[in-house]
Amino acid sequence: MEQYRIEPGKKFKLADFSADDLGDFDGKKQKGNEKLAENRADLVELQELLYSEHKHRLLIVLQAMDGGGKDGTIRSVFEGVNPQGVRIASFKTPTQMELDHDYLWRIHSQTPGKGEIVVFNRSQYEDVLVVRVHNLVPREVWKKRYQQINDFERQLSEEGTTILKFFLNISLEEQKQRFLERLEMPQKRWKFNPGDLAERKLWPEYMKAFEEAIQKTSTKWAPWYVVPANRNWYRNLVVSSVIVDTLKAMKMEYPNPAIDVEAFKKQLAEG
């Protein structure tokens, strides 16, 4: 999955990454879903270990255009994982109270604690994406944010948080199909937002903003992965594989507290 990780400092062109790519995966949807099921089983175990070890923190950032599949990724990748150790933080249009603070204020308060996995559905990156595209703050303000975000993420990382960032990359044509599906299926219509059509017209501006954000903030301590996301099954496979590999590399172990097991067993046997 390393082919989708953006190397820090290297020139990066979003156009070089196809939303239809299947990498070197030698199979189709069925085989992909079988592998996904294996990843899920691994994830259930690894999360249990993370939770009981109570040492590492894992932060997963999801960003995408509307219809890119953030919700579907969360549902599919974390199916079956103990909800007690996984928290989803969704960042919507900021409230007045949030706007009254700096843009990282609401973000910092939602970062994971020890033993916890937190998934950001949207994130601090909105403040260099939608904010930039719509000129919500002057250029000289958002320009400084790449460095600020890198510094913020480095501090989290140095204090023990592992950070993974995923851009779910769909094509303009695929977005159209997904919007049409929302309009056509009564059970999905509630997800259709007329405002999304106006955003769609700004596609090139968004791509430019994503490209610069990913280029400037893919770091050793908080790498970006550009995930081919036109096919849901492959998107889920890539995201879950990166998460599983990252957790495995932590070499976690169940805590073995130094207690006198036999003495406690005797005590229990008595009453």
The contact set with a copy of itself (CB under 8 A) reads: 52-53, 71, 74-75, 78-84, 86-88, 90, 119, 121, 176, 179-180, 183-184, 186-187, 189-192, 194, 197, 200-201, 254-257, 259, 261, 264-265, 267-268, 271
- Of 114 and 220, the one with the shorter C-beta distance to a copy of itself is 114
Q: Minimum CB separation from a copy of itself for residue 172, in Å?
A: 9
- Of 15 and 258, the one with the shorter C-beta distance to a copy of itself is 258
- Of 10 and 201, the one with the shorter C-beta distance to a copy of itself is 201
Q: Minimum CB separation from a copy of itself for residue 260, in Å?
A: 9
- Of 101 and 176, the one with the shorter C-beta distance to a copy of itself is 176
Q: Minimum CB separation from a copy of itself for residue 54, in Å?
A: 8
- Of 19 and 226, the one with the shorter C-beta distance to a copy of itself is 19
Q: Minimum CB separation from a copy of itself for residue 83, in Å?
A: 5
Q: Minimum CB separation from a copy of itself for residue 151, in Å?
A: 27
Q: Minimum CB separation from a copy of itself for residue 75, in Å?
A: 5
Residue 259 CB contacts under 8 Å (≥ 6 apart), including other chains? none
- Of 25 and 105, the one with the shorter C-beta distance to a copy of itself is 105
